Amino acid sequence: MTVKVRFAPSPTGRIHVGNIRAAIVNWVFARGQGGEFVLRIDDTDRERSTLDYEQGIETDLTWLGLTWDEKYNQSARFDLYHLAMERLRSQGRLYPCYETQDELDRRRKVQLSRGQPPIYDRTALKLTDEERQVLEAEGRKPHWRFRLDGKRVKWTDLVRGDCEVDTASMSDPVLIREDGAFLYTLPSVADDIDLGITHVIRGEDHVTNTGAQIEIFEALGGPVPVFAHFSLLVDADGGALSKRLGSLSIMDLRDRGMEPLTIACHIARLGTSDPLEAVADLQALGESFDFAKMGRNPARFDPADMARINAGVLHAMSYEQAKPRLEARGADLGEAFWLAIRANLSLFDDVKDWARIVAGPVTPVVADQAFLDAALALLPQTLDASSWSSWTNAVKDATGAKGRALFQPLRAALIGQDHGPEMGPMLVLIGRDRAGRRLSGHVA
Ligand code: GLU
């Protein structure tokens, strides 16, 4: 069996760390299994869906490297949903209801006041043809409910293990509104069958849909896919993340300098037993991904973890990958430069600071010019990879300074600050001429 999964966003907003989790988990699972990934745009709600948001979703997925094998728009597939609707209707599993929202609310209140569960009482199922005609003559349009079997529905969830729901304790779900619009439940199942989806992987907020959807899969004669409901993200302090999601869109994270691999790695591994650290690439992420490693507890999203992973991604980035981006920032000082400074990056843009520190102008920090003069007198005319250690040894012998007292003044003069990359490669990059001027206390 070839694994086939789908990511099914509604194009009613930009993608953020909360809803990208479904895309990333589906993608890494599919790629790890050598399977296929379908992008399904759930745009049956024509008032709230926009093409701009759809394009935004594609832009974000592409930037993240989450390529799709097939793409569908639900808005172009209504024929399929009408067929599914007719099929359920002919089986007596779909029935018209005429209650207004007010009537339903009132009935629910009465049920609650009597201590009864507030589930739909199926009054509409008992209507005679004449009663229906009377209601329609009054101008009422039906909405359509799926008649649940009222049995125990079981599935083995890849994250939650053995699950069971009693559909007798649920209201028959409304599948089609009175204006004829399909709600999410039926099109999703019709598509999953039609497209041959083998695994439905989504957030645990959908667990409540799964019982009814399995009954619909069975009624439509489709194979029931495997389900996996992953835990939702919470704030680092355990609170709901929803309040902050606005500032955690993929677009914002990109603008703040997060690497695409950082986001994929962080979000795929949150709530798993795998370490929250950088991996080589998406392929490696797919290979290490396993639902068995996923826990059921809410996954804590901590921006500090993301920052740490981002640094790890940059530290492991090859010059080949970095080169076009260095060029775009006017900071391509060659491979030796990249290898010298990458371990000091938190954000890619930090390369601009290091490029300036190498190429100048740098204002040297000078506490003791006499010490620097002594050091300059010993600086070799040509510099290579071993110069820093032989030179600092010579300075140590000549001045008696050692440890921090030896290195710190040299570093502060050469790069204008007291922390930074290893000085061996930096000295070579800075070059004899600029190094000499900085050691003399001049801006260079
Ligand atoms: N459009 C639905 C959502 O975004 C898809 C849910 C599903 O994966 O079945 O929540």
Mind listing the pLDDT tens digit for each residue in 265-318? Answer: 999 999 999 999 999 999 999 999 999 999 999 899 999 999 999 999 999 999
Mean pLDDT, range 424-443, rounded to an integer: 98
Number of domains in the chain: 4
Within a domain: residue 192?
A: no
Within a domain: residue 21?
A: yes
Say what percent of the chain tops pLDDT 90: 95
Whether residue 206 has its Cβ less than 6 Å from ligand 1: yes
Within a domain: residue 186?
A: no
Given 146, 176, 206, which residue is the final one in a domain? 176
Residue 243 has pLDDT above 90, yes or no: no
CATH number assigned to the domain comprising residue 117: 3.90.800.10
Any residues with CB less than 8 A from the CB of 114 and at least 6 apart, and which? Answer: none
pLDDT band for position 132 (cuts 50, 70, 90): very high
Cβ distance 13 to 170 under 8 Å? Answer: no
Are residues 332 and 274 located together in one domain of the fold?
no
Going by alpha carbons, the residue nearest to atom 4 of ligand 1 is: 9
pLDDT band for position 93 (cuts 50, 70, 90): very high
Whether residue 260 has its Cβ less than 6 Å from ligand 1: no
Residue 246 has pLDDT above 90, yes or no: no
Residue 142 has pLDDT above 90, yes or no: yes
pTM above 0.95, yes or no: no
Mind listing the pLDDT tens digit for each residue in 382-417? Answer: 999 999 999 999 999 999 999 999 999 999 999 999
Chain-wide mean pLDDT for the chain?
A: 96
Nearest to 397 by CA among 423, 373, 374, 420: 374
Predicted pLDDT at 150 = 92
Mind listing the pLDDT tens digit for each residue in 318-343? Answer: 999 999 999 999 999 999 999 999 99
For 236: left if phi > 0, alpha if psi spans -120 to 50, otherwise beta; the answer is alpha
Residue 242 has pLDDT above 90, yes or no: no
Any residues with CB less than 8 A from the CB of 195 and at least 6 apart, and which? Answer: 4, 6, 38, 40, 70, 72
pLDDT band for position 378 (cuts 50, 70, 90): very high
Whether residue 42 has its Cβ less than 6 Å from ligand 1: yes
Domain of residue 299, residue span: 1-71+231-316
Whether residue 9 has its Cβ less than 6 Å from ligand 1: yes
Residue 247 has pLDDT above 90, yes or no: no
Residue 238 has pLDDT above 90, yes or no: no
Candidate of 19, 39, 73, 184 to mutate for ligand 1, largest count of ligand atoms within 8 Å of Cβ: 184
Within a domain: residue 307?
A: yes
Using the mean position of ligand 1's atoms as its centre, give its distance from the Cα of residue 280 in Å.
30
